[in-house]
Structure 1
Amino acid sequence: MKKATIIAALLISSAATFAQTWTVDKAHSRLGFNVTHLSVAELGGTFNSIDAKITSSKPDFTDAVVELTADINSINTDNEQRDNHLKGADFFDAEKFPTLTFKSTSFKKVSDKKYKVSGNLTLKGVTKPVTLDVVLGGTTTNPMSKKPVVGFKITGTIKRSDFGVAAGMPAAMLSDEVKLNAGTEFVKE
């Protein structure tokens, strides 16, 4: 029994040794969303201030843990009046809930470069499980920094009503479904 415990401890410690951390390259990453307004026009925006990291010990990222934080006050829809309304209590209530967070619970490969990432999204103080589609863009070495870089495209749909966002807004005015889309680059630390 003692021998099995020692072997298990060595395996766990060696897995931790090979874990690699990748940090989001903020200059080359974007976290966006789209909604339908009045059932006829799709409008979108971004969160301009994000922080994210991926920890993985496997080169194909199948054991990846993804952590993301976005500053609600950095919301940008190219309309200052709308941005201020979105930051207010009717929508995100940025004063009480200044961040959006996501932490993955699984990162599963479904085909060559396609993955499903599941995790907990916290928005406006509400945490719900979500699953998003991920496409691995590839890996390369940045010629300037000489560091390894990996790129991902992430898409998915959530319901704003699940998170209490714009609870009084009918879907005919603003779609309940919110499409998420992100293009990200991560740099290996």
Structure 2
Amino acid sequence: MMKTTSIIASLLILSATTFAQSWTVDKVHSRLGYGVTHMGISESEGSFKDYTAKITSSKEDFSDAVVELTANVASINTENEQRDGHLKSPDFFDAAKYPTLTFKSTSFKKVGDKQYKVTGDLTLHGVTKPVTLDVVLNGTTTNPMSKKTVAGFKITGTIKRADFGVAAGMPTAMLGDEVAIRANTEFIKD
């Protein structure tokens, strides 16, 4: 009986791993961006150019997905070289001391047709905090050029820069505390 139970358990583990799908971000067709209010009258936007992201899921609807992302903080780009340099400095992200930001999901829950809530641990500026973001699965298709399966996602949410100690000395009248996260991504099935 013990041997049969072990064989069944092994087969269940094997079948679960056999059907796991890995997806890697296609950076050519993706953007990892943010926006923050400047002086209460406009929104300053930026993005990270150097990042990796992976999704692993055993279900086709992604309802059990695990998301992992790492971004190089020094790759921040606001289309202004002087501002980018200031953002990399100790006044803001302190890229020399905290060179990466990471996100690893702890849950990926389906909340509607093609709508999800992803919760995970965001590490930014040396601080790790749980965050929850909204995800829309735009769909999956086969790329006619590469013949590979691709999936498109739109991710949105809000974090507070004060929670992570970013620009702690900057008054909110100058720079808003709430930072809008906006990512439009395509992932290629490995």
TM-score (norm 2): 0.97
Question: Hey, what does 1:28 align to over in structure 2?
Answer: 29
Kindly provide the CA deviation profile for residues 75-124 of structure 1, in whole angstroms up to 9, marking residues without a partner as x.
01111111000000011000011111100011100000100000000001
Q: Offset of 1:6 from its aligned partner?
A: 3.2
**Sequence identity (%):** 74
> How large is the RMSD of aligned CA atoms in angstroms?
0.9
> Match for 1:107: what amino acid?
F
SS at match of 1:110: strand
Distance of 1:83 and 1:67 partners within structure 2: 25
Moved more, 3-12 or 97-106: 3-12
Distance of 1:125 and 1:7 partners within structure 2: 44
Question: Hey, what does 2:98 align to over in structure 1?
Answer: 97
Question: Hey, what does 1:145 align to over in structure 2?
Answer: 146
Question: Hey, what does 2:81 align to over in structure 1?
Answer: 80
SS at match of 1:39: coil
Kindly provide the CA deviation profile for residues 130-162 of structure 1, in whole angstroms up to 9, marking residues without a partner as x.
000000010000001000000000000000011
Question: Hey, what does 1:120 align to over in structure 2?
Answer: 121
Distance of 1:99 and 1:126 partners within structure 2: 11
Question: Hey, what does 2:64 align to over in structure 1?
Answer: 63
Distance of 1:161 and 1:48 partners within structure 2: 24
Any runs of at least 4 consecutive aligned residues in structure 1 with deviations exceeding 6 A, and if so which? none
Unmatched tracts of structure 1, length 5 or more: none
Distance of 1:186 and 1:106 partners within structure 2: 19
Unmatched tracts of structure 2, length 5 or more: none
Question: Hey, what does 1:174 align to over in structure 2?
Answer: 175
Moved more, 166-175 or 3-12: 3-12
Equivalent pairs counted in the alignment come to: 189
